[in-house]
Structure 1
Amino acid sequence: QNFFFFNDTATTEIYTLSLHDALPIFNEVYSLLKLQIEEINQAKKIYQMIAERSNLVVAVFDEEKNLIYANSLWKNLMDDKSLSSFLSLMDSKDLEKDESFEFCLKTKSGKEVCFSFEIIPIKEYSLYYLVIGYDVSYFKERVEQLFDIATKDQLTGLYNRVYLKDVIKRIFELVKRGQNYCLLFLDVDYLKEINDQFGHLIGDEYLRGVAEVIKKNVRAEDIPVRWGGDEFLLILRADIEGAQKVAERILQEIKKIRIKANGKEVVGSVSIGIIKIEPDRELEELLLKVDQALYKAKFEGRGVIKVLS
């Protein structure tokens, strides 16, 4: 049997090889192909080993978004529901760009974890998408912790002066757009007497009790602040009537606070001043006005709510 080989010169020449002569060539080609396949498989094993032993979530999708490879971390995290959500998020992205985005999901234990993902398009014979993600939950938690340290009072967990001064500008903008906001100024009655008679630890416990009552009676959009010492501020998204109702609930619940100390019961109250927040004002103006409302409440006997228009 003869085999024909054509060269690509202008003058076509035909070479013939017998089977006996062709076999060594075929064997050499086969050996080369076999070696290349072994090298590819070896490289594949190395890449899979790297993917398995890294702290990264790794997956590969084909052009139709079919999952063709996933490392163990991916498999442990992504159930069918999470995968469906992830694919929907992929569909909303421009996958021709190396684009990173954040994706949060709940683990089997119920804990929420967040990952920063990068999708890298790979164009060879076909289009593939290499997806790499790393856990950013720790960094998010640290950011939240640092935010709390910077903006919250350590004793009560309420916001502090720094946060109020930062957020008040946004409140003024909302008031300009027609939303109703009120400012409440709460002062703990007789805190000095509590500290003198029972000690500052009991006084601090009482302040924490007051803060818990305030937290329980506000919504997510409201801003409770420990202004300092025995003073609290509360920005409520409400008109005067709504603010009075909240203030009354807080007043009555604080009267129910009971703390045991030295065989005695610590009982206290708060006085509350209320004003409506007007646009185009400075924080100092609001504080001066609400302080006047609080002074009138104190003057009328403490444990009283006073509105100043």
Structure 2
Amino acid sequence: MLLNILDNLTIGIILLDDMFRVKYLNEYIRKLMDREKVENLTGIGKTFGELLQCKNTELEVECGTEKSCKSCDVNIFLKKVLKSDSLDEEELVSITNQMKFKFDGNFEIKGKKIILEKEEYVQLEVYEVTKIKELERDLLEKAKTELKLNTILNTTEDLVFYLDSEGRIQYLNTAYANFIGKPYSEILGKKELDFFPAEMAIKCLSNNEQALTKGDYFEEEKFGDNWFSTFKGRVELENNEVGILAMIRDITKYKEMGFELEEKAYKDSLTGLYNRNFYEDKLRMLYLENIETPCSLMVLDIDNFKSINDTYGHISGDEVLKKLSSILKICIRKDDYLIRMGGDEICILIFSEISAAQDIAERIFKNLEKLRELEQADKVAFTVSIGVVEKKGYESLDNLCERADKALYSAKESGKSKFIIN
């Protein structure tokens, strides 16, 4: 049974006695060399050097000539193996100090002394160097690639890390270590929940599960004063290991640029209120998303605004618009929307019952009255009229605006400087 095992190995096994005579060759060696001559040499007192000469007649050259005698090289090697004294009192003992030498340029041999039934033997293991070199080359290329990749990952400002299927951190780059504020050794093998507050840790567990079972996870969110984008994706490694590759990027400056562009696109430069573009692009969608929520709309304009412009000039008219906008901003609630539709027409969208809109209208008139009392006589005094409506069922925003315009017209017709609820 043991011989069958040895014959099926993918390395060569040669057993020599203390005189370096061949006692055993496994099937790998028999296939490697001339089988007929090998069979004739085995067990009949021929040395390993003579076995090599069966393969190449140049090996018959004696020592001391210009050519190197490989059989002598072999004998030197074998003697070094036998002289090793690092043996245990076992029936079969491996030598820890193994010698190596090249064999026909394509193979490498390792030798070790063994004890069989108190007799010393040399066991040779023959490895095909070509395969070993290919493996070493592949490993070297892989190491170079990993080194290059690691260098790239450690120079990026993005936080990059790898989690195993249990959520333990198995790789992290320098940026992630700096973000956590601990050395690598204190982070590797730990979980995200070991470093983050409970609320954030629960979110990490949730998005890890999503990445592993439902597909990639991506989100933009704000922590403190900064905005971050988080990506987590499932990866399968060569050893069939499943894990999560994660990257977190600080996108604060991009968000701020986006906010600035949005500010220019959707804000009125004179008053700082939202403009008509916001109404068309954002407010319509917002209205539909909250179609089940109670909603009220106010539409107002400045009484006799054309006369103010004609009498005092457009600069004074602009000042009136600015003052009105300032008053409106302090009268509405945090979640209400102020939009300058054009000219002096302004609408206020309120996601609440009509009573909230009525309270806002009353605050507007109260604060405008205070403004007139405080301002000097040479300042342009102005009043406003307001139309207020409440959404009915699944009424469209356009229809709601149309009804609010009618309410505003009624306020104008009934004397101005008032609000009417329709």
**Is the counterpart of residue 99 in structure 1 residue 99 in structure 2?**
no
Tell me if the contact between 2:228 and 2:248 (Cα under 8 Å) persists in the aligned partners: no
Give the C-alpha shift of residue 148 in structure 1. 4.2
- When Rg is computed on C-alpha atoms for both structures, the one with the higher figure is 2
Q: 2:345 aligns with which of 220, 223, 231?
A: 231
> Gaps (5+ residues) in structure 1?
none
**Is the counterpart of residue 20 in structure 1 residue 84 in structure 2?**
no
Give the C-alpha shift of residue 232 in structure 1. 0.9
Partner residue of 2:45? none
Distance 1:96 1:285 in 2: 45
Tell me if the contact between 1:207 and 1:230 (Cα under 8 Å) persists in the aligned partners: yes
- Distance verdict in 2 for CA 1:53–1:98, change over 3 Å: farther
Give the C-alpha shift of residue 284 in structure 1. 5.5
Tell me if the contact between 1:222 and 1:235 (Cα under 8 Å) persists in the aligned partners: yes
Tell me if the contact between 1:6 and 1:15 (Cα under 8 Å) persists in the aligned partners: no
Partner residue of 2:151? 49
Distance 1:165 1:96 in 2: 39
Give the C-alpha shift of residue 51 in structure 1. 0.9
- Distance verdict in 2 for CA 1:19–1:197, change over 3 Å: farther
Cα deviations across residues 195-222 of structure 1 (Å, max 9, x unaligned)?
4555434432332332233233333543
- Distance verdict in 2 for CA 1:161–1:72, change over 3 Å: same
DSSP 3-state at the match of 1:94: helix
**Is the counterpart of residue 75 in structure 1 residue 177 in structure 2?**
yes
Tell me if the contact between 1:272 and 1:297 (Cα under 8 Å) persists in the aligned partners: yes
Cα deviations across residues 99-138 of structure 1 (Å, max 9, x unaligned)?
24125353xxx42222242434242445443323444445
Give the C-alpha shift of residue 286 in structure 1. 4.1
Give the C-alpha shift of residue 185 in structure 1. 1.6
DSSP 3-state at the match of 2:221: strand
The code of the aligned residue for 1:159 comes to: Y
Give the C-alpha shift of residue 186 in structure 1. 0.9
Cα deviations across residues 262-299 of structure 1 (Å, max 9, x unaligned)?
99434332111222333465655544443332233234
Distance 1:60 1:169 in 2: 39
DSSP 3-state at the match of 2:148: helix
Distance 2:246 2:404 in 1: 56
- Distance verdict in 2 for CA 1:85–1:50, change over 3 Å: farther
Cα deviations across residues 236-278 of structure 1 (Å, max 9, x unaligned)?
2333333222101112123334799999434332111222333
The code of the aligned residue for 2:155 comes to: R
Tell me if the contact between 2:303 and 2:416 (Cα under 8 Å) persists in the aligned partners: yes
Distance 1:50 1:151 in 2: 40
Distance 1:170 1:243 in 2: 18
Distance 1:220 1:250 in 2: 15
**Percent identity (aligned):** 27
Give the C-alpha shift of residue 162 in structure 1. 4.0
The code of the aligned residue for 1:16 comes to: L
Cα deviations across residues 72-97 of structure 1 (Å, max 9, x unaligned)?
32233346227736632443313267
Cα-Cα RMSD:
4.2
Q: Which range is displaced more, 237-246 or 40-49?
A: 40-49
Distance 1:104 1:283 in 2: 30
The code of the aligned residue for 1:270 comes to: V
Partner residue of 1:6? 6
Tell me if the contact between 2:156 and 2:175 (Cα under 8 Å) persists in the aligned partners: no
Tell me if the contact between 1:115 and 1:137 (Cα under 8 Å) persists in the aligned partners: no
Tell me if the contact between 2:229 and 2:251 (Cα under 8 Å) persists in the aligned partners: yes
Partner residue of 2:276? 161
TM-score normalised over the length of structure 1: 0.73
> Gaps (5+ residues) in structure 2?
17-77, 82-97, 101-108, 112-125, 182-194
Tell me if the contact between 2:339 and 2:348 (Cα under 8 Å) persists in the aligned partners: yes
Distance 1:193 1:95 in 2: 67
Tell me if the contact between 2:275 and 2:339 (Cα under 8 Å) persists in the aligned partners: yes
- Distance verdict in 2 for CA 1:86–1:23, change over 3 Å: farther
Distance 1:263 1:76 in 2: 63
DSSP 3-state at the match of 1:251: helix
Higher relative contact order (CA 8 A, sep 6+): 1
The code of the aligned residue for 1:104 comes to: E
Q: 1:130 aligns with which of 245, 249, 253?
A: 245
User: 1:153-192 maps to which residues of 2 (within 5 A)?
Assistant: 153-165=268-280, 167-168=283-284, 171=287, 177=292, 179-192=293-306
User: 1:127-276 maps to which residues of 2 (within 5 A)?
Assistant: 127-165=242-280, 167-168=283-284, 171=287, 177=292, 179-196=293-310, 198-257=312-371, 264-276=378-390
